[in-house]
Amino acid sequence: MRLSGRGVRCVRGGREVFSSLDFEAASGEAVAVTGPNGAGKTSLLRLIAGLLAPAGGSIDLEGGEAELTLPEQAHYLGHRDALKPALSVLENLSFWRDFLGSSGDAGQNLARVGLDHAMHLPAAFLSAGQRRRLSIARLLSVRRPVWLLDEPTSALDAAGQAMFAGVMREHLAAGGLIVAATHAPLGIEARELRMELRIGGAA
């Protein structure tokens, strides 16, 4: 499986964020997207996730399931955790498991991220790091080959980062691929894709 972008151009709010960007990631490989704020790291992830339309170029996934689009084979872990404070931890996870179409055991995945004791508590009681852990449990519950991670480790403590590095290694070993926007080291082997800040580029 190979994810590749050719000559990708991104325009947001009339400003060209980046253009003629090429990137590539193969099965079992992680790409760390780095660069200063405003260089377009999040925009790139959202382009791959299909949440933004590219102003030019193309992004393709070769070797995936033919009848599914790239976003349908991808997980997107954004800044916001997609959790409902009124629902319990388990209800939140079960919803995404059912909606995204999977039959994994929610309890086991919660144990993996260290939230099994909080299973029946409202998600409102979780701290930022715990919310992030719950999002990671979502990645585990539903199998998707492509993981798009936006600052995945930002709220995690040292133990959480170690846990997440293990999760990512397993995913890569199983033939998945990861594109992660990050400031901090990811904790795993990753190819760096450095993005530069463009100043005053008008579209």
Partner 1 sequence: MTALAALIRRDVRIALRVGGGALIGVLFFLTVVVLMPFAIGPDIPLLTRLGPAILWLGALLASLLTLDRLFMADHEDGSLDLIVMGRTPLELACAAKALAHWLAAGLPLVVATPVLGLLLNLDATATSAVALTLLVGTPALTFTGMIGAALAVTLHRGGLLLAVLVLPLSVPVLIFGVAASQAVIVGPTPFGTPFSILCAISLVSFVVGPFAAAASLKHGLD
Partner 2 sequence: MTLIDLANPTRFLALTARVLPWLIAATAILLAAGLYRSALAPDDYQQGATVKIMFIHVPNAWLSMFVWGVMSIASLGTLVWRHPLADVAAKAAAPIGAAFTFLALVTGSLWGRPMWGTYWEWDARLTSVLVLFLMYLGLIALWRAVEDPSRAARAAAVLTLVGAINIPIIKFSVDWWNTLHQGASVFRADGPTMDRAYLIPLLIMAVAFTLLFVTLHLAAMRNEILRRRVRSLQMMQASRVAFSSETGAGSREATASKQTGAA
Interface residue list for partner 1 (CB under 8 A): 12, 46, 49-53, 68, 71-72, 74, 76, 78-87, 91, 94-96, 98-101
Distances from the Cα of 82 to the Cα of 77, 123, 170, 188, angstroms: 9, 11, 24, 25
Q: How many CA atoms within 13 Å lie on the side-chain side of 191?
A: 13
- Residue pair 173/28 in contact (Cβ under 8 Å)? The answer is yes
Q: Which does 84 bind (CB under 5 to 8 A by kind): partner 2, partner 1, none?
A: partner 1
Q: Which does 159 bind (CB under 5 to 8 A by kind): partner 2, partner 1, none?
A: partner 2
d(CA 191, CA 14): 31
Specify the residue, 74 or 193, whose C-beta has the smaller distance to partner 1: 74
Please state the closest distance from residue 148 (CB atom) to partner 2, in A. 25
Q: What is the largest CA-CA distance in the chain?
A: 52
- Which tokens go with 90? 């388990």
Give the three-class secondary structure for 144. Answer: coil
Specify the residue, 78 or 145, whose C-beta has the smaller distance to partner 1: 78
- Residue pair 134/112 in contact (Cβ under 8 Å)? The answer is no
- Residue pair 95/46 in contact (Cβ under 8 Å)? The answer is no
Please state the closest distance from residue 189 (CB atom) to partner 1, in A. 27
Report the interface residues with partner 2, using CB under 8 A.
85-86, 113-115, 117-118, 121-122, 124-127, 129-130, 133, 157, 159-160, 162-163
Please state the closest distance from residue 83 (CB atom) to partner 1, in A. 6
Please state the closest distance from residue 158 (CB atom) to partner 1, in A. 25
- Residue pair 26/9 in contact (Cβ under 8 Å)? The answer is no
Please state the closest distance from residue 53 (CB atom) to partner 1, in A. 8
Q: Which does 130 bind (CB under 5 to 8 A by kind): partner 2, partner 1, none?
A: partner 2
Specify the residue, 106 or 190, whose C-beta has the smaller distance to partner 1: 106
Q: For residue 119, which of 128, 110, 127 has the smallest C-alpha distance?
A: 110
Specify the residue, 98 or 157, whose C-beta has the smaller distance to partner 1: 98
